[in-house]
Amino acid sequence: MSNSKFSRRGVLKTGMVASAGLALPQYLRADAHAGFTNAPGDSEVILGFNVPQTGPYADEGADELRAYELAVEHLNGGGDGGMLGTFSSKALDGTGILGREVKYVTGDTQTKSDAARASARSMIEKDGAIMITGGSSSGVAVAVQALCQEAGVIFMAGLTHSNDTTGKDKRANGFRHFFNSYMSGAALAPVLAANYGTDRKAYHLTADYNWGYTTEEAVKSSTEAMGWETVNAVKTPLTQTDFSSYIAPVLNSGADVLVLNHYGGNMVNSLTNAVQFGLREAQANGKNFEIVVPLYSRLMARGAGANVAGIFGSTNWHWSLQDAGSQAFTRSFGTKYGFPPSQAAHTTYVQTLLYADAVTRAGSFNPCAVAEALEDFEFDGLGNGPTLYRGADHQCFKDVLVVKGKENPENEFDLLEIVEVTPVEQVTYAPDHPQFAGGALGTCNPGA
């Protein structure tokens, strides 16, 4: 259920609109601008922040919520303005969105698709949210994106890395700033080849849901193309906390690399178990045994501690980047909360600004006008360098970071070092690439 962060005064419920089986309230502006779900009143606009506040990805969810609150503060003219000052688009001026104060409601996805859909539905039906964003699970993202498509609101995906989100399960009302599994594989493979050679045997442990499947597929495809052999690939439950029974067979499998297609608390626990079983000191096939974590975050590195030292992975963004946008965001976030932001915080902050900017450039909250403003939009100054929101699939294309755990971190936040900034050209693919096959974007649904 959503937790209201605003007063309901000033929002006028004028009727119900049926949309694909959903009974949704419509909030009409004073100038009677109807025609889409939850059109805001003259004074405020409601956004829905749907994040994992419990479950294995709760750390990411907490940081996402911090970033959302910071974005709202900046949009409403508070604080130092953060990335509003570095964003290449100059449409936002700190007066809310189209002159309306930004308010928000929150919900707990619990890292469960059913709970996330229920939370998002409540935000739309009961709270009048015109845009839903958040999540740190691709299963959740796919489920909520489909709901938003049915309801006729924009979904600005949070942390979701599965190819499916902008692949077979893409939707016209959904947009993703975060990178994806294919991009991780394309960025990591050359670095792994340079450091570990092309004659390797890999054993995959994979979270048993769509993100795990596509990450395993992407990393297998990219590493096998450079000569690696995949010895085994084993699925593990998302709810698993002790991975000992999955780690034990690895050393006798003939593999000399363990790929952990795990995220959040799952990765912290599985890596810890792997170290406890001696994999970091082991040898196999005459080589030092290695571990790879395809998707990294500072929060995971903090949880795993010294176990991450020297382990390669990829990430969407890192607070140590020296571009003006990254520095502005890190400074704002650090001033407000006392520590640097994670990649989850970064992508959700950016998504909020991108939505507000698209509404402003379109001059309308109508989701179809917003979608048109986002499609094939090129921008800079938000921390990832020049970026394209591709119209064909609503996926952002930008440089990808390859990182590894620091051997001698200087403090509790200095845990990852950037070893390669992979240019966007290396991670770009055709919209009909086999790893993204199936499904159709469809057409925007305004809901009313």
Q: Is 434 helix (H, G, I), strand (E, B) or coil?
A: helix
Pick the CATH number of 44-179+320-398 from 3.40.50.2300, 1.10.1300.10, 3.40.50.720, 3.20.20.70: 3.40.50.2300
Q: What is the pLDDT of residue 278?
A: 95
% of the chain residues with pLDDT over 90: 84
Q: How confident is the model at residue 90 (pLDDT cuts 50, 70, 90)?
A: very high
pLDDT tens-digit profile of 355-376? 999 999 999 999 999 999 999 9
CATH number for the segment(s) 182-315: 3.40.50.2300
Rounded Cα distance between 198 and 175, Å, is: 36
- For residue 287, give Cα distances in angstroms to 33, 151, 195, 248, 291: 67, 54, 12, 19, 12
User: Are the folds of 44-179+320-398 and 182-315 the same?
Assistant: yes
Q: What is the pLDDT of residue 57?
A: 86
pLDDT of 35 > 50? The answer is: yes
Burial of 305 (0-12, 13-18, 19+ CB in 10 A): middle
| Tokens representing residue 403 in the block | 């990182």
Measured on CA atoms in the order 63, 67, 72, 73, is the torsion positive or negative?
Answer: positive
pLDDT of 425 > 50? The answer is: yes
Neighbours of 9 (CB within 10 A): 8
Burial of 122 (0-12, 13-18, 19+ CB in 10 A): middle
Q: Which residues contact 278 (CB under 8 A, 6 or more apart)?
A: 251
Rounded Cα distance between 184 and 275, Å, is: 24
pLDDT of 439 > 80? The answer is: yes
Q: What is the pLDDT of residue 171?
A: 98
| Tokens representing residue 299 in the block | 């929060």
Q: Are 6 and 44 in contact (CB under 8 A)?
A: yes
- For residue 149, give Cα distances in angstroms to 16, 120, 166, 374: 18, 12, 14, 16
Please compute Rg for the chain using Cα positions.
Answer: 22
Q: Which residues contact 338 (CB under 8 A, 6 or more apart)?
A: none
In the block, which residue shows the tokens 């849901």? 209
pLDDT tens-digit profile of 232-266? 999 999 999 999 999 999 999 999 999 999 998 89
Average pLDDT, the chain: 91
pLDDT of 36 > 80? The answer is: yes
In the block, which residue shows the tokens 């925007």? 444
pLDDT tens-digit profile of 163-213? 999 999 999 999 999 999 999 999 999 999 999 999 999 999 999 999 999
Domain boundaries, the chain: 44-179+320-398, 182-315
pLDDT tens-digit profile of 301-312? 888 889 999 999
**What mean pLDDT do residues 103-121 have?**
95
pLDDT tens-digit profile of 128-154? 999 999 988 899 999 999 999 999 999
Q: What is the pLDDT of residue 273?
A: 96
- For residue 114, give Cα distances in angstroms to 56, 77, 248: 16, 36, 33
Q: What is the pLDDT of residue 389?
A: 98
Q: How confident is the model at residue 354 (pLDDT cuts 50, 70, 90)?
A: very high
Q: How confident is the model at residue 410 (pLDDT cuts 50, 70, 90)?
A: confident
Burial of 168 (0-12, 13-18, 19+ CB in 10 A): middle
Closest CA to 413 of 337, 317, 319: 319
